[in-house]
Amino acid sequence: MRSSTARLAVLASAALLATTAVTASAHPAGAGTAPPVPGPLAHRPLAEAGCDIPPERDIAITRKVYEVGQRMNVDGKVMLAGFETGWVESHMNNLACGDRDSLGVFQQRPSQGWGTPEQIMNVDYAAGKFFEVALQMEPDNQGGTAGQLAQAVQRSAFPDRYDQAEGIARTQRDEAFQPYGTIGDKYAAMGGANGVLGAPVRAEEDSSLGGRFQLFQNGIIIWHPDDAHPVYGDILRAFWATDAERRWGFPTMDEADAAKATNGTRGRYQYFEHGLFLWSPQTGTHELHDAIHDAFATNGREATLGYPTTDEVDENGGKAQHFQNATIHWNPTRGTWITTP
């Protein structure tokens, strides 16, 4: 019951636009009048400034930088420029020190218009500011390297350092893209890239309602404290087409085999906080919820009533839903009742 990768990509684009519309507005690059470019940084080496750089990257920082770039839809060169800059300036650590008033992952300076100290120490803000300026500089860097773009943003006294960091920046960028945490554990338990979901397409990011999710070739894993479940195939298509977690809440189980109907139909089902999605090859995917779902659950489910052939439809001031062997009706006066052909 897998939808094609191309079909999922179209649905994913719509879902991601809805999910990120609010957060993207916090990073106005490319919308309306471009903000002024902050002043040059021109750093001395941090050792000369009495600021120690840890030898290793902070994985939480690299993941956040990637997530911000992804949310802003930056291209590969701009993303790589961010990782080269982060490694050169701080080894991808959120430093509370630097040359003069420089701070943070990218060693941005409040005195040069990069933000307040509090903003610069917020990695989400700092990465967004770096990418915002990089997007402004990119049209003048056509044909140039990511390191040259990084230099255009930073205007460092040591311009060659960014290109020299390309190898480690690529490694850290690719690492930041990989599943991790509860979503990563679920993905690994499902067989990783060789499982039903396939390889990751995007890094983990915010969903609606305080959750997180990651998009893969054939589906998603969606998390809500502290539980993660995959959604894929036709159930995912129906979930996204009906406003996803904003309407149905988060999944409460993995997809599983449903019962055999009296006519031999077999299918799959998945429960969400506010409804049930039920699929079969013969009937497609339909959701059940509220009173009609309760009547379905107490009257033999698909083994007796068959699989749903429609979603709920309006009927004489109430609702009805058709199944292979019956129809469940509801209205506010009578409640639910079942008729058979």
In angstroms, the CA 56 to CA 33 distance is: 38
Model pLDDT, residue 38: 85
Q: Which amino acid is at 330?
A: W
* pLDDT for residue 7: 54
Per-residue pLDDT of the chain (341 residues; tens, 9 = 90+): 444 555 555 455 545 544 444 344 334 333 456 778 887 665 556 655 678 999 999 999 999 999 999 999 999 999 999 999 999 999 999 999 999 999 999 999 999 999 999 999 999 999 999 999 999 999 999 999 999 999 999 999 899 999 999 999 999 999 999 999 999 999 999 999 999 999 999 999 999 999 999 999 999 999 999 899 999 999 999 999 999 999 999 999 999 999 999 999 999 999 999 999 999 999 999 999 999 999 999 999 999 999 999 999 999 999 999 999 999 999 999 999 999 98
Q: What is the pLDDT of residue 33?
A: 63
DSSP secondary structure letter of residue 214? E
Give the pLDDT confidence score for residue 17 in this predicted structure. Answer: 45
pTM to 2 decimals?
A: 0.86
User: Which of 117, 137, 108 has the alpha carbon at shortest distance from 42?
Assistant: 108
- Which residue shows structure tokens 């679920």? 186
> How far apart, in whole angstroms, are the C-alpha atoms of residue 214 and residue 2?
17
**Predicted pLDDT of residue 219:** 98
184: left (phi over 0), alpha (psi -120 to 50) or beta: alpha
pLDDT reported for residue 47: 54
CA–CA separation, 267 vs 322, rounded Å?
Answer: 17
C-alpha to C-alpha distance for 122 and 108, rounded to whole angstroms = 11
**Cis preceding linkage at 294, omega within 30:** no
Alpha helices (runs of H) in the chain, residue ranges in sequence order: 5-24, 59-71, 76-90, 117-120, 123-137, 146-154, 161-164, 166-176, 181-189, 233-241, 244-248, 290-298, 301-305
Q: What is the pLDDT of residue 48?
A: 59
Burial grade of 128 (CB within 10 A; 0-12, 13-18, 19 or more): buried
Residue 40: the pLDDT is 67
Q: What gap in Å lies between CA 139 and CA 132, rounded to an integer? A: 13
- As a whole number of angstroms, the distance between CA 159 and CA 148 comes to 8
